[in-house]
Every structure is written in structure tokens, then in C-alpha cells.
Amino acid sequence: CSDKNCKNCPASLDTCESCSDGYLLSSGKCVACSDKGCAQCAASGASQCSSCLPHFFLTGKTCGECADKNCVKCSGAGADACQECDGGFYASGGACVACGDPGCNDCGGLPGTGKCSECKSGYYLDDNTKNTCKYCGPGKFSPLGATSDSECKGEFLFERIMFLYIL
């Protein structure tokens, strides 16, 4: 596809059939939605949204920004409107609260307990407690959700994976 915002153009490199989030298909071209938080423009035009990107909410035909910067999904502009939070946080009373463990990616199943159910990359769930995250150590990496220290690998392996991923 000649248009970087086009997701599908099988018939011709210049004619698009579907666009990336934040763009509207118009006469085979991708036109940017005018609202910065818009995931999909309404069929009626680029100035109207039908759905919003994470961290935004739909109000009428525009997208408003969630009040809490860690909020992924909110029902409105209020500080107590959050329904879903970024990794490392959980929703409580409509606000995002830190899990309490710096290596924790998800404490959703155990909010408010100081326990973690999934660790960030570079951490693993402690073999003994299974609810706290331990740091792999300098130069070592682990995948998101690692469940033991045996998943912590050295820098060489990480660089090799990144090299393969880039290819």
C-alpha cells in the first residue's frame, strides 16, 4: 500500500479498502479523524467519532480524555469514572490505584492485597510466595508474565530475540 495508514489494499497499491485506527476510508484513501482520541471516525465524516482510543471516552460524536492518566477505559470525564487501568494499576472506586509492587503488571485478581498476579518483563513471580515480583537482575530479561527465575535470560538471548523480531 502506498498509504502508510492503509491496512488493506489488495486491488491496487493506490486504492485502500480499510484504514488504521484514527483514519476514515474515503474514496479509497485514508483521511485522518479530526479528533485526537478517535479510534474510528463515523461514516458521516472525519469530524465525528464512533469509537475512541484507550485513555479516551465517547461523548456524543467526540472523544474526551479520561481524567486519570493511568485509566485505559472510563465512562466519563470525572475523576471517579475509571473502569479499567494500565498495567501496574487497578480500578478502585473509579480511580486507578498502584498495585504496590514496582514489578507488578497486573494485580486485578488480587487488588488492594499488595499481591501480584502477573509481573512486568524483567521480573518473575516469586517461587515461594507466587504473589510478589522479583527482579531478574542487571542484564537479564524475562517475558511478561514469567512465573519463575528460570525464565530470566541473559542479555545475549534478549538481543538475539530483538534482532529476529526486527527482521
Contact predicate 151/135, CB 8 Å: no
Once rounded to an integer, what is the mean pLDDT over residues 87-113? 81
pLDDT, position 106: 85
- In angstroms, the Cα distances linking 55 to 66, 89, 116, 146 are 5, 14, 23, 27
pLDDT, position 109: 62
Q: At 112, is the pLDDT very low, low, confident or very high (cuts 50, 70, 90)?
A: low
Once rounded to an integer, what is the mean pLDDT over residues 125-130? 78
Average pLDDT taken over every residue of the chain: 82
Q: Which residues face 56 on adjacent strands?
A: 65
- Residue 88, Cβ neighbours under 10 Å: how many? 19
How does pLDDT run across 71-96, given as a tens digit for each residue? 999 998 888 899 998 888 888 888 98
Q: Determine if residue 83 is left, alpha or beta; phi over 0 gives left, psi from -120 to 50 gives alpha, anything else beta.
A: alpha
pLDDT, position 158: 45
Residues of the chain above pLDDT 90, percent: 19
Q: What are phi and psi of 140, to 5 degrees?
A: -115, 150
pLDDT, position 65: 93
Once rounded to an integer, what is the mean pLDDT over residues 8-27? 81
Q: Which residues face 92 on adjacent strands?
A: 95
Q: At 8, is the pLDDT very low, low, confident or very high (cuts 50, 70, 90)?
A: confident
Residue with cell 466519563: 76
Residue by residue, DSSP assigns 69-92 as TTEEEESSSSTT-EEEE-TTEEEE
Residue 166: pLDDT over 80: no
Once rounded to an integer, what is the mean pLDDT over residues 121-130? 84
Report how far residue 87's alpha carbon sits from residue 81's, in angstroms, rounded to the nearest whole number: 18
Residue 160: pLDDT over 50: no
pLDDT, position 159: 46
Query: When comparing pLDDT for 77 and 159, which is higher?
Result: 77
pTM of the shown model: 0.68
Tell me the three cell numbers of residue 89: 494499576
